[in-house]
Amino acid sequence: MFAPDFCTIMKVAKTLADFESARKSLGDKKVGFVPTMGALHEGHASLIRRAVAECDAVVVSDFVNPTQFNNKTDFETYPRILDQDCAFVEALGAAILFAPRVEDIYPAGTDYNKKVFDLGGLDLYGEGPRRPGHFNGMAQVVTRLFDIVRPDRAYFGEKDFQQLAIIEYFVKNLHYPIEIVRCPIARAEDGLALSSRNKLLTPARRAAAPHIYASIMKTRDMVGKMPVSEAIRKTVELIDAQPELKTEYVEIINSLNLRPVSDWNEAEHLRLTCAVYAGDVRLIDNIELK
Ligand code: PAF
């Protein structure tokens, strides 16, 4: 079980060398890992709490990975609040916060930022075509972090549903001895899926954003009662009825292979996924339909 002495002596490693010496001190403890891009919120807290409860020691990484951003402005404006993140992670009982520099993850002269991954075709839908290179960049950093951190378990939230499916795929395909733990979406009381990007919303857009979840929950009542295409059209209409919101896409997908379906009976398990702009902030969400 988790050793309480780590709560008060959380190590903050800002370089690879610092991390390696901190990692050594964990010996053969069962290590849980929560990779993040920082700007931590209650959604991350739920992952860290679960990791702390289930592992002997927990490593949290805090690294805004340049290779997974297909939009330069999105990368530049991504919130960065490392000092607050440190206090947040320490209070939750993690053993190490790893906040590396870009040169630690992608050292000059190495090809870590050029590797091309087999993503099993799971990147062909949803976010994949809309954010070219995003999932390959995500795989670059996640595999690099796995190799450095060497965890027994890694915890990911279902808010990034497609990311999670892709990680499970490459972990199996590349034979990583790591258990991937799926964690449910954490939501604010008003239903908005928690995300670091919510920090970028103006008060008016923050007030409008819960309308995304309220709208997609209504799609549940449409299942089997009208064609899939009609349900998608109505859902977009519901979301866009709120003037601060503009839907980029709503898809109804087979939860296992992530392919969009055109008939409710095409798959046993269906999920609705969507991306919606609140002004210039792009928010994603998803719910289980059946
Ligand atoms: O989900 C995220 O925050 C990021 O994609 C991850 C997994 C930390 C990789 O940068």
State the Cα–Cα distance between residues 62 and 99, nearest whole angstrom.
5
Architecture of domain 11-183: 3-Layer(aba) Sandwich (3.40)
User: Where are the CATH 3.30.1300.10 domain residues in the chain?
Assistant: 196-288
For residues 204-233, give the mean pLDDT. Answer: 98
Q: Return the minimum-mean-pLDDT range out of 8-17, 202-211, 271-280.
A: 8-17
Nearest CA owner, ligand 1 atom 1: 36
35 lines ligand 1 (CB under 6 A): yes
Q: List pLDDT tens digits, range 196-213.
A: 999 999 999 999 999 999
pTM attached to this predicted model:
0.95
Nearest CA owner, ligand 1 atom 9: 138
State the Cα–Cα distance between residues 164 and 148, nearest whole angstrom.
20
Per-residue pLDDT, 111: 97
Q: List pLDDT tens digits, range 98-124.
A: 999 999 999 999 999 999 999 999 999
User: Where are the CATH 3.40.50.620 domain residues in the chain?
Assistant: 11-183
Determine whether 44 is an active site residue.
yes
Q: Does the domain formed by 196-288 have CATH 3.30.470.20?
A: no
Using the mean position of ligand 1's atoms as its centre, give its distance from the Cα of residue 57 in Å: 20
Q: List pLDDT tens digits, range 46-85.
A: 999 999 999 999 999 999 999 999 999 999 999 999 999 9
Report how far apart, in Å, the C-alpha atoms of 3 and of each of 127, 272, 285 are.
39, 40, 35
Which pLDDT band, with edges at 50, 70 and 90, does 267 fall under?
A: very high
